[in-house]
Amino acid sequence: MSKKGKRLREFEKNNREFNISEAQRQRQERRRATRERKKLKGVSGGKPDVQGKTDKRGKKKNKIANAKRLIAGVIILIFITSIVVSAVKILKLKSERDKLLETNNRLTELKEDLTAEMDQIDSAEYIEQQARKELKMIKSGEILFLVSDEQGEGKDEAK
């Protein structure tokens, strides 16, 4: 309805003459009718008879309830997302830790090998082995055979 119609009705309502006993009787009739509707509603199980004002209140309540549901949903979504992100980070860190442990084990083995080799450096046998291997030295009376990967002449050489 328009504002003008609403104002006019309000003006007429406020400025009319009325009988108090008549107003009380009308009010009692309205209450009786309301009670009967409530009884019928309770028996039939139908939807309640909603007036305009209560309908607006219901819409406001629905909007508020929907807003609360939306906020709760967003909070739950953020919570779940943070859990998933944390789980992914944990998995990445575990895989990185496993790689580092593997590297650590490999380096520990290399250290043990080098320590063992360092202990042997002063021995005559190790010096002889390295001289034969790296410097290709031979004892008197031995023959050294060198095999090259090049094709052609001089595959086998004797010294």
Q: pLDDT by residue (tens digit) across 95-154?
A: 999 999 999 999 999 999 999 888 888 888 888 888 888 888 888 888 877 788 876 554
35 inside domain: yes
Domain that holds residue 35: 1-45
140 inside domain: no
pTM: 0.42
40 inside domain: yes
142 inside domain: no
- H-assigned helices in 16-51: 20-44
143 inside domain: no
Q: Select from 137, 136, 140, 139 the least CA-distant residue to 148.
A: 136
Q: Rounded CA gap, 40 and 47, in Å?
A: 10
82 inside domain: no
Number of domains in the chain: 1
Q: Select from 153, 152, 133 the least CA-distant residue to 144.
A: 133
Q: Rounded CA gap, 75 and 41, in Å?
A: 39
